[in-house]
């Protein structure tokens, strides 16, 4: 089944404790991205990747890192999480090409205390 | 980026057609109109997209006006499972037609399908 898989789905942690949210897709997509969703602000893009070893900042990259060492994986890293990063996170992927629809994972709900 | 305007909420009776409008008066000639929906904090789900012509798939129909300044998503026979927030998005191409691009989500329309 074609899908985007995020792990973990839920995480409660404390300020400053490094964490990684994994994202994997099995559709051989070139393009992957991370979004966060907050009430009243909609979905905002954090980082995106056009292909392996090619990443760039989205609209709200501060406090986050990403890497794209393999085509299928695009982990989101919070080196020193803070409470303002408490949010619902989504990973998405698509084939290259501006008209290609994006496929989203089921989301990761992070709570930073 | 071209911005979109959607009603905050709409209601529809089960089994009837749901018509969701979207205004995108500043759309550029090479920008597509996309529709996604999100069911209660699940990942957004792609529905349909189009450039100029009307489009139809197994989920919905998309009607784009001739001047492309507005569009309507039609769910022909709404069911309770169609209750969701529907997002109309104009897609910005970052590097040209061979590259990916970001999606800018607004607040969308909360569609409630009633029994």
pLDDT digits (tens, 9 = 90+) for A11-60: 999 999 999 999 999 999 999 999 999 988 888 999 999 889 999 998 89
**Residue A54: closest CA among B104, B91, B99:** B99
pLDDT digits (tens, 9 = 90+) for A56-98: 998 899 999 999 999 999 999 999 999 999 999 999 999 876 6
Chain-chain contact of A97 with B98 (C-beta, under 8 angstroms): yes
pLDDT-derived band at B99, boundaries 50, 70, 90: very low
Determine what percent of chain B is predicted with pLDDT higher than 70. Answer: 89
pLDDT at B96: 47
Q: Does A77 touch chain B (CB under 8 A)?
A: no
* Bond preceding residue A8 cis, omega within 30 of 0: yes
Q: Does B97 touch chain A (CB under 8 A)?
A: yes
Q: Does A39 touch chain B (CB under 8 A)?
A: no
pLDDT digits (tens, 9 = 90+) for B1-24: 568 999 999 999 999 999 999 999
Q: What is the mean pLDDT of chain B?
A: 89
**Residue A20: closest CA among A31, A8, A5:** A8
Among A98, A99, A106, whose Cβ lies nearest the Cβ of B43?
A: A106
């Amino acid at each position: 089944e074609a899908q985007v898989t995020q792990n973990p789905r839920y995480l409660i942690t404390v300020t400053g404790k490094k964490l990684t949210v994994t994202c994997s897709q099995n559709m051989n997509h070139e393009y992957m991205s991370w979004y966060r969703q907050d009430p009243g602000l909609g979905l905002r893009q954090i980082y995106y990747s056009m292909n392996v070893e090619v990443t760039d900042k989205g609209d709200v990259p501060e406090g986050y890192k990403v890497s794209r060492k393999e085509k299928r994986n695009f982990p989101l890293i919070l080196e020193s999480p803070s409470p303002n990063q408490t949010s619902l996170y989504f990973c998405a992927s698509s084939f290259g090409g501006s008209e290609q629809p994006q496929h989203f994972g089921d989301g990761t709900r992070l709570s930073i205390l | 980026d071209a911005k979109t305007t959607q009603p905050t909420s709409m209601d529809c009776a089960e089994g009837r057609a749901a018509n969701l409008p979207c205004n995108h008066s500043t759309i550029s000639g090479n920008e597509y109109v996309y529709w996604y929906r999100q069911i209660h904090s699940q990942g957004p789900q792609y529905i349909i997209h189009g450039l100029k012509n009307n489009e139809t798939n197994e989920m919905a129909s998309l009607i784009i006006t001739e001047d492309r300044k507005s569009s309507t998503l039609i769910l022909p026979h709404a069911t309770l499972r169609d209750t969701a927030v529907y997002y109309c998005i104009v897609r910005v191409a970052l590097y040209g037609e061979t590259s990916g691009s970001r999606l800018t989500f607004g607040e969308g329309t909360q569609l409630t399908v009633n029994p």
